[in-house]
Amino acid sequence: METVALIAIAVFLFTYALIVDERIHRAVAAMFGAAIVVFIGIVPWEALLEHVDFGTIFLLLGMMIIVNTARGSGLFEYIAIRTAKLAKGSPIRVLVLFALVTAVVSAFLDNVTTVLLLTPMLLYVARVMKLNPVPFLVTEIFASNVGGAATLIGDPPNIMIASSAGLTFNEFLIHLGPIMVVDMAILLLMMYLIYGRSMRVSPDERQEMVRMLNGLDERAAIVDRSLFNKSVAVIAFVVLLFFIHDRIGEILHIVLPFVDPAMGLEPAEVALIGAAILLFWSRQSPEEIFEKIEWPALFFFGGLFVIVGALVETGIIASIAAVMVENVASTGEAMFIIVWFAAIASAIVDNIPLTAAMIPLIHDLGTTMDAYPLWWSLALGACLGGNGTAIGASANVVVIGIAEREGIGITFVDFLKVGMLVLFVTVAVGFGMLWLKFAM
């Protein structure tokens, strides 16, 4: 093997080890690794611009602007209080409703913001009910990862896959949506079987909880009514645009004949258009909103793309793909390997760097076999694999981190026991459904 290839592998492994350990900020680790491969010429400037997936970065950027602008209106707190009140004092209903709301919100907005804003409310409700909050928190984590897997914009791995493979929002809904609905039902059943017995409260306690929660005024959570309404309208418009982004030209052509009917919008363009509309309409200070953009996350993605690009440039990814092609007999077998490798590896490494490394591999596999089912296998494995360990996905880290700060211990092993069970069951069901669709 050539020296540059060895260096590319060393930088890749060293950076990924730093990301797993996080003693150095993940964005800094990724940028440093990228700097090495650029400095020694493994990834020249022209190739760097090709490897950095600006579709992913601009989609994340646009959604961050929308979410951060909407956040200022109190929208998420409003949703959290309404959900708590709807439960009417029943712990099981709290668990189910918060899981469903988390899943739906995570499907359309980013998982980290969703759990960051719903977890304090969930902890409050658990405290009022005088119940152990752990079952509610772990269910919220799993629901966030399952919900996020259902759409193109729900989870970073899906965004990366869609941008790289040119998949549409509706394709995600068609291929992954039904799987996630089934997985969500199974997840809720599993949580009920595991924790249901510990969630009983007396009628007096239930009455007390209803009284406490009814005392909360969801309207008080809305700090800016006008921004609240505008945020809801723009988010609804953006979601609508996502549904039609690949055939927007056909629709626009009817009212604006000069628009090319073949025109489609990239998901990143939809997000940036939505961000521009919300900023323009709401008159929020752009300085304040842009300050809230998670720049470290964007640089983290950029660095990862360059580091993985070094593996592509040195032919390592192509070699791995060749070995796989030689040893894989059918599409179904390739799907099996990708789903389970992605699921287990993303539970260890975090699903974002795992997906970044897997995308070029699938592109290479696509030269000799149909890559289409493989993209869904990767999305399924990477998103649901995040449920396996406490560090498998960002939502896990956020919820467990909040719990620790509030004095609630969810140990790595405790999470692992339930997480791995959820991982294996949901991935197995999902793989079965994908296999029936693409490999039968």
Interface positions with another protein (CB under 8 A): 21-23, 25-27, 74, 77, 112, 116-117, 120-121, 124, 127-128, 208, 211-212, 215-217, 220-221, 223, 294, 296-297, 390-391, 394, 397-398, 400-402, 404-405, 411-412
**What is the nearest approach in angstroms of another protein to the Cβ of residue 360?**
25
CA distance 135 to 422: 13
Nearest to another protein of 141, 321 (CB atom) = 141
**What is the nearest approach in angstroms of another protein to the Cβ of residue 409?**
8
Under 8 Å between Cβ of 248 and 264 = yes
Render 19-79 in DSSP notation, one character per residue: HHH-SS-HHHHHHHHHHHHHHTTSS-HHHHHHHS-HHHHHHHHHHHHHHHHHHTTTHHHHH
Nearest to another protein of 22, 333 (CB atom) = 22
**What is the nearest approach in angstroms of another protein to the Cβ of residue 31?**
13
| Cβ burial 231-252 (10 Å sphere, 16+ → b, else e) | beebbeebbebbebbbbbbeeb
Nearest to another protein of 14, 435 (CB atom) = 14
Nearest to another protein of 255, 413 (CB atom) = 413
- Say which DSSP state 320 is in: H
Nearest to another protein of 122, 317 (CB atom) = 122
Nearest to another protein of 209, 380 (CB atom) = 209
Nearest to another protein of 296, 315 (CB atom) = 296
**What is the nearest approach in angstroms of another protein to the Cβ of residue 417?**
14
**What is the nearest approach in angstroms of another protein to the Cβ of residue 211?**
6
**What is the nearest approach in angstroms of another protein to the Cβ of residue 243?**
29
| Cβ burial 52-91 (10 Å sphere, 16+ → b, else e) | bbebbbbbbbbbbbbbbbbbbbbbbbbbbbebbbebebbb
Nearest to another protein of 200, 219 (CB atom) = 219
> Which residues, 6+ apart, have CB-to-CB distance to 40 below 8 Å?
4, 7
**What is the nearest approach in angstroms of another protein to the Cβ of residue 324?**
31
Under 8 Å between Cβ of 127 and 243 = no
Which stretch of DSSP H or E encloses residue 409? none
**What is the nearest approach in angstroms of another protein to the Cβ of residue 198?**
21
**What is the nearest approach in angstroms of another protein to the Cβ of residue 88?**
17
Under 8 Å between Cβ of 309 and 43 = yes
- Pick from 420, 340, 384, 422: which is nearest to 179 by CA? 384
Q: Determine the longest span between alpha carbons in the chain, in angstroms.
A: 73
Nearest to another protein of 269, 294 (CB atom) = 294
Torsion angle, CA of 373/375/378/381, rounded to 10 degrees? Answer: -60
CA distance 312 to 334: 20
